[in-house]
Structure 1
Amino acid sequence: MFTSLYTASAGAIAQQQGLDVTANNAANVSTQGFRPDRASFSDLVHTGVRAGEDAPKTGSGEKLAGTETLYVPAGGLRQTGRKLDYALTDGRQFFAVRTADGIRYTRSGSFAASAATNGRFYLTDAQGGLVLDRQGRTIEVTDEHPARAPGAFTFRNLDGLRKTGDNYFAPTALSGAAATAPDAGLRQGYLEDSGVDLADVMADLIQQERAFQLNTRMVQMSDEVAQTVDNLR
């Protein structure tokens, strides 16, 4: 009975972690350029119920194996007509932004012109970071016209990128350094919608919530059985 309790508890914890991932996707269904995550699960150790190679085995629950960010396909494009809005049609490419924490990368191209201490205006993102061109230079804006287009960058291994909040990604040793990408997929006057598919999110929420409920019910039943056995002693 203790095995069933531990197995169900592990399953409930894993499904709760999966629900957190899916809920975050749902919360960003309207976030420009947001890339959703997908949770994956794996079994914990299987143990033989008796000695012997052919003995049946029993599982001990599951765990959250990890999360995968879905970069492709890119989100749908929405025309805005603003000269400071940009979108990337290739889901493997990013804009580069200079922030207080270093250079970060984002899919969100809703930019603005912000005044600097020298009295000039530069292209910035929603958090005030300076948008960079292909050469890593800041982009001056005059009368709502950027002097140069934002650069498009990609990475050798997208799975190595790390989400840091505010729709930013940071490179790691696994992702490799950023490399310039072709400008063919850069669209001015457009924004990329969120990559979250609401129908998929709702299906995942229903499945994970049901699995969580079944596991918590098993925890409750195991506890009731333990109490019954204890009362019989």
Structure 2
Amino acid sequence: MISSFYTSATGAINLQSGFDVTANNIANVSTVGYKPSSASFADLIYTNIHAAAGENSQLKSGHGTKVEKTDTLFTQGSPKQTGRNLDYALVNPNNYFAVRSNGEVKYTRNGSFHLSVEDDGSYLASSDGGYVLDAQGNRIAMESEEDTPAIGVFSVKNEDGLVRTGNTCFQLSDLSGPATAVTDPEIKKSYLEDSAVDVADQMTSVIELQRAFQFNSKMVQVSDEIMQTVNSLR
């Protein structure tokens, strides 16, 4: 009966991690260029019951569940017209703007930019203050918001290999491969890409996680009641 406590508690704790992923998606339903995450669960090790050493049996006892991985869903959001000169939306999937911040280059589909006025001029900057880069990896100097900057657009071989850093930014990894500048990229000016979060899908996920959490909580309650009954018989 002790194992039932551990099994149900493990399930409840890991389901809470699934709730956190879904809650973060819902919180970013209005975030420009946001890509939702999806938590995948896996069963923990099973124990063979009434089986000889080293052999499998038809009767097995599980030990709960765990969050196996969290994937980013690179679904493209819908373009939304803003009428603002420094808003840009990428038309093709697997295309990203490059932003340099604190010496690191990150990649994003959030094209809500502004001008950063400095002593040596004005530069195109991202919403978090990083420098937007051109195809050669240099800062983009601008005199006014009416200019038409040559914004660099990049792609990677394996989009699933990108590592999320923040809500809308990604970094390269060995799995993603290097970023390659796109020739003649298609960019829509005065548009932004909406969040790719589907509220209906997220609410379905909430219901599924809630039912599983209630089931594990009920297991804890039943196990506790049985233990109390057994202890009262002593």
Tell me whether the two structures share a fold, i.e. TM-score over 0.5.
Answer: yes
Distance 1:217 1:146, change over 3 A: farther
Question: Structure 1: which 4+ aligned runs deviate by more than 3 Å?
Answer: 182-185
User: Which position in structure 1 is the counterpart of 2:6?
Assistant: 6
The residue correspondences of 1:1-233 to structure 2 (distance < 5 A) are 1-51=1-51, 53-72=56-75, 74-118=76-120, 120-233=121-234
Distance 1:228 1:197, change over 3 A: same
Residue type of the partner of 1:190? Answer: Y
Partners of 1:140 and 1:147 within 8 A in 2 = no
Runs of 5+ in structure 1 lacking a partner?
Answer: none
Whole-Å separation in 1 of the counterparts to 2:84 and 2:26? 27
Distance 1:60 1:149, change over 3 A: same
Corresponding residue SS for 1:169: strand
Residue type of the partner of 2:77? Answer: G
Whole-Å separation in 1 of the counterparts to 2:133 and 2:77? 22
Cα deviation, 1:101-138, whole Å, max 9, x if unaligned, reads 511111100001110121x2111111111101111121
Cα deviation, 1:135-180, whole Å, max 9, x if unaligned, reads 1121122231345232111222222222221522111222222111
Deviation, structure 1 residue 46? 1.4
Cα deviation, 1:169-220, whole Å, max 9, x if unaligned, reads 1112222221112444321111000010011111111111221121112112
Between 155-164 and 205-214, the greater mean CA deviation after superposition: 155-164
Residue type of the partner of 1:140? Answer: A
Q: What is the root-mean-square deviation in Å for CA atoms of aligned residues?
A: 1.6
Partners of 1:151 and 1:183 within 8 A in 2 = no
Identity %: 48
**What TM-score do you get using the length of structure 2 for normalisation?**
0.93
Residue type of the partner of 1:177? Answer: P
